[in-house]
DNA sequence: TCGATCTTGAAAATGAAATTCAAAATCGCC
DNA sequence: GGCGATTTTGAATTTCATTTTCAAGATCGA
């Protein structure tokens, strides 16, 4: 299930969007912040993707819905969403922070093509178990982990052929 | 085996340093670059650690041995070392690139305390096997992976007690 | 030794992330 | 509904690690 182009289909149902909005609103109230139209627009735009979005990419999408929303607001809202666990950062190690929505999704990991940047998601219970085991062993209270595999995907191998010498 | 303070003891033997230097020199020749005193000093300084060093941290250590060596040279040499696999980047996701020397060490992973930044190394064959399995399944030619666990270490939990609300 | 090529390192450039601040919006309260 | 304290917004600026530039110096094969 490659991540290449799936922008078109909305990823989650209207009820889920409403529920996510509820989670955000509850979080805002809890930490004494205010509900705004911008924050809702950004959340909805974010939920409506299945990509691993950088702040800039999300900003471009948000701008289509409301051109008056600025980059800074997207940046800050993304942090808010991460705070209430609606978004989580994914590390692709390309120097850019990326987020994906974590709403009703099984924990998963990524394999990233170092040539074209496309990625595959995969699942592994072993990794979850390992977090528990290692944490217990060294007496850490673990909160999360990060696991990525890097390589070159089949398409890129075909395209490049012998052009990989440099 | 905490990483907190082990700066003093040199981590590898003189023969190993020589061998590592051989690897670097061979790599330099292979890619048509030149052997320099700076590069050797930086390699030796780097090998003489067991920490996960940022470029800046290594620069400070190198400066003690030869104050004329500049940051840029350390930065570039670290990339060279990574090229010939004497160094490898470790991702602690704190916005700083860190390297550790990979000379004669088993592949390992890190568990990082998000409070104090200390880390524990651990080993897992499962993770290695997983890279193979997932790569085969999705037809990626895998080159490497990155696995970190985040949490709070015992010391920090004790220190902070109830001060973890904010 | 010569000279083509590479290296060095201070300085500048880059670029993502974070902060600033004045104008605008929110929301508890009456 | 409207007041007002507090928060938000977003353009602009700042920050900071990283990367590039470039002229002077070093390396190494012939």
Tell me, yes or no, whether B78 and B123 share the same domain: no
Report chain B residues whose CB lies below 8 A from the CB of A30: none
Question: Would the pLDDT of A24 be above 90?
Answer: yes
* Cα–Cα distance measured from residue B52 to residue B4, given in angstroms and rounded to the nearest whole number: 11
Tell me, yes or no, whether A9 and A83 share the same domain: yes
Tell me, yes or no, whether A131 and A94 share the same domain: no
Question: Who's near A157: CB < 8 A, 6+ residues apart?
Answer: B141
With an 8 Å Cβ cutoff, are A141 and B149 in contact?
A: no
| pLDDT tens track for B66-82 | 999 999 999 999 999 99
Tell me, yes or no, whether B74 and B94 share the same domain: yes
With an 8 Å Cβ cutoff, are A145 and B143 in contact?
A: no
Last residue of a domain, one of A70, A86, A105: A105
- pLDDT reported for residue A108: 85
- Interface probe, candidates A108, A134, A149, chain B, greatest B C-beta count within 10 A: A149
| pLDDT tens track for A75-118 | 999 999 999 989 988 877 777 889 988 765 677 899 988 878 78
- Asked if the Cβ of residue A38 lies within 7 A of any atom of strand D, the reply is yes
Q: How confident is the model at residue A16 (pLDDT cuts 50, 70, 90)?
A: confident
* Token pair listed for B5: 């303070």
In terms of residue numbers, what domain contains B121? 106-166
Question: Would the pLDDT of A3 be above 70?
Answer: no
Across all residues in chain A, what is the average pLDDT?
85
| pLDDT tens track for B5-45 | 333 445 578 888 899 999 999 999 999 999 999 999 999 99
Give the distance from residue B123's alpha carbon to the nearest chain A alpha carbon, in angstroms: 9
Tell me, yes or no, whether A4 and A31 share the same domain: yes
Neighbours of B25 (CB within 10 A): 17
Tell me, yes or no, whether A8 and A57 share the same domain: yes
Give the distance from residue B144's alpha carbon to the nearest chain A alpha carbon, in angstroms: 5
| pLDDT tens track for B80-132 | 999 988 998 887 777 788 998 876 567 789 998 887 878 898 988 889 899 99
Report chain A residues whose CB lies below 8 A from the CB of B139: 153-154
With an 8 Å Cβ cutoff, are A114 and B143 in contact?
A: yes
Distance from residue A36 (CA) to nucleotide D2 (C1'), in Å? 20
Report chain A residues whose CB lies below 8 A from the CB of B113: 140
Judged by a CB distance cut-off of 8 A, whether residue B82 touches chain A is: no
Tell me, yes or no, whether B59 and B123 share the same domain: no
Tell me, yes or no, whether B61 and B116 share the same domain: no
The answer to whether the CB of A44 falls within 8 A of the CB of A69 is: no
Tell me, yes or no, whether B126 and B99 share the same domain: no
| pLDDT tens track for A34-78 | 999 999 999 999 998 877 899 999 999 999 999 999 999 999 999
- pLDDT reported for residue A144: 86
Please give the tally of structural domains in chain A.
Answer: 2
Judged by a CB distance cut-off of 8 A, whether residue A145 touches chain B is: yes
Q: At what angle do helices A125-138 and B125-138 cross, to 10 degrees?
A: 160
* Cα–Cα distance measured from residue B89 to residue B99, given in angstroms and rounded to the nearest whole number: 4
Tell me, yes or no, whether A89 and A154 share the same domain: no
Tell me, yes or no, whether B35 and B65 share the same domain: yes
**Which single residue has its CA nearest the C1' atom of nucleotide C9?**
B70
- pLDDT reported for residue B135: 95
Strand partners, A149: A111, B145
Tell me, yes or no, whether A163 and A115 share the same domain: yes
Indicate which CATH number applies to the domain containing A25. 1.10.10.10
* Token pair listed for A70: 């600025």
* Cα–Cα distance measured from residue A153 to residue A116, given in angstroms and rounded to the nearest whole number: 8
């Amino acid at each position: 299930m490659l991540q290449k182009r799936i922008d078109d289909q909305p990823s989650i149902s209207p009820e889920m969007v409403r529920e996510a909005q509820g989670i955000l609103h509850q979080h805002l109230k809890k930490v004494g912040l205010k509900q705004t139209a911008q924050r809702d627009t950004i959340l909805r735009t974010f939920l409506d993707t299945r990509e691993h979005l950088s702040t800039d990419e999300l900003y471009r999408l948000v701008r289509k819905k409301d051109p008056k929303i600025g980059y800074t607001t997207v940046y800050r809202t993304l942090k808010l969403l991460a705070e209430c666990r609606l978004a989580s950062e994914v590390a692709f190690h390309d120097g850019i922070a990326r987020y994906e929505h974590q709403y009703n999704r099984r924990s998963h990991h990524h394999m990233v093509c170092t040539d074209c940047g496309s990625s595959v998601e995969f699942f592994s219970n072993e990794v979850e178990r390992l977090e528990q085991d290692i944490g217990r062993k060294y007496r850490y209270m673990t909160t999360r982990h990060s696991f990525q595999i890097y390589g070159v995907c089949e398409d890129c191998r075909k395209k490049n052929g012998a052009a990989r010498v440099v």
